[in-house]
Chains A and B, each alone.
Chain A
């Protein structure tokens, strides 16, 4: 119930209209990856999913933030069922551990919501992707990669602000990425980022 209320509330606040260019009813496991410009991003993708898919879509988030305070802990654990990863020490080993944790926690049912830029953009432009999504796709070649373009969320709740301005936004689910497994890292990341940028011009 809390989940439905949260989803409805955030869709209302962000006046969101949702477009689908992939099958919104398919129960296939997916990695939804979006452009990152606001704290509202993951909750918007999560809210835009139909309830059945929402129940199995788990955002990837930082443990340090979501384990502070009882409310956040409850939301992350029970409502969003977030995959909480360690941040802070940026070593290759900890990065690999985080990717392996994501691949493992997906199991054979869940989907993930990730933001490959790793940080929020201020002006809404899509920055370079970090390599995490490439390694994740290598570990889980069986799942679909779906680009999700979020429009205007950087104006609703920009980086550094704590109060939202209720403008209208759009959530566009693109067609699944066709990765053939032969792409090297740079080519894969360019392809994934390109697919997201392409959605920007959807009317």
Chain B
């Protein structure tokens, strides 16, 4: 069965594209109606986001349809760009140079190569076990003890967030779920769609009725009303999309709930790191746009949890 014969997959993709068309039309109408200075800025921001979603959706759909190898390559590139943003903001020292070179050019490709050859055992421990030992050792060889603990911790965390966690998205293609053979692309699609919808709905709920801030020192835009409203709605949508997954409706809802809560936590954690480094966006280097890490912060933390729940309860 090719993907286009899989009616659930076609329905998912079609639904997303239809949603984007509606969003674009709404954004266009808003931009014609609005007159105030502040309203204009908000609408411009929303329209920029819609354009970004179009790009992301098209790239993602093309990669998924083209096949496993292209999907893995896409996520390798995403990891690479995210790690570059992370490391650029980290206070590294010349003694980290060789370990960083390893992180970019050996560890990152290797992690995705393991997905390609479907070696789950090594995939799941390469970075947390082998590389945490190896890279720390490599850093000691440079002989610089200044802030050694911080530097090795930063390098390790960069790899965990930008490579290890994110690699769990294409790793979903490895899972063997009885009765769901050759359909794993939809598992991936479900995850990414739920994460993105949750971001949007939290934004919408927060803008409309948000009052009580969750963590004003970390992320002033996150409110309890936005979080609960967004997470609640996304959970319902997740349950309604059960037909695309190997889950029953209530299970799909639970999965969506876990994904959104993890995504919310991820957003907070990445904001805290940004505050610590004194920047607003990871991609502040690129004018006007956030960076790759700003785009994937929620996905980072949702992916491994979703992967392991699916693997534990559904895979062989």
* Interface residue ranges, A against B (CB under 8 Å): 15, 17, 122, 152, 155, 158, 161, 163-168, 170
Contact = CB atoms under 8 A, between A and B. Distances in A.
Interface string B205-244: 0000000000000000000000000000000000000000
A99 to B, nearest CB: 33
Given A152-B88, A158-B94, A168 B285 contact: yes
B37 interface: no
A122 B94 CA distance: 9
A152 B84 CA distance: 12
B105 to A, nearest CB: 8
Contact of B286 (A17, A161, A163, A165): A17
Contacts of B97: 155, 158, 161, 165
Contacts of B98: 161, 163
A165 B104 CA distance: 7
Contacts of B104: 165-166
A166 B100 CA distance: 9
Contacts of B94: 122, 158
B101 interface: yes
Interface of B: 80, 84-85, 87-88, 92, 94, 97-98, 100-101, 104, 285-287
Contacts of A167: 84, 87-88
B88 A168 contact: yes
Contacts of B286: 17
A163 B104 CA distance: 11
Given A122-B94, A166-B104, 18 more contacts: A15-B84, A15-B88, A17-B285, A17-B286, A17-B287, A152-B88, A155-B92, A155-B97, A161-B97, A161-B98, A165-B97, A165-B100, A165-B101, A165-B104, A166-B84, A167-B88, A168-B84, A170-B285
B276 to A, nearest CB: 18
A158 B98 CA distance: 11
A199 to B, nearest CB: 15
A23 to B, nearest CB: 19
Contacts of B100: 165
Contacts of B285: 15, 17, 168, 170
Nearest to A160: B94
B152 to A, nearest CB: 16
6 contacts: A158-B97, A161-B98, A166-B80, A166-B104, A167-B84, A168-B84
Nearest to A152: B88
Nearest to B83: A166
A167 B286 CA distance: 13
A122 B104 CA distance: 22
Contacts of A163: 98, 101
Report the 4 A-B pairs with minimum CB-CB distance, sorted nearest first: A167-B88, A168-B88, A165-B100, A168-B285
A122 to B, nearest CB: 7
A141 to B, nearest CB: 35
A167 B86 CA distance: 9
Contacts of A155: 92, 97
Contacts of B101: 163-165
A162 B185 CA distance: 41
Contact of B87 (A17, A158, A165): A165
A73 B92 CA distance: 35
Nearest to B86: A167
B108 to A, nearest CB: 11
Contacts of B88: 15, 152, 167-168
A100 B286 CA distance: 40
A161 B98 CA distance: 9
B117 to A, nearest CB: 25
B210 to A, nearest CB: 29
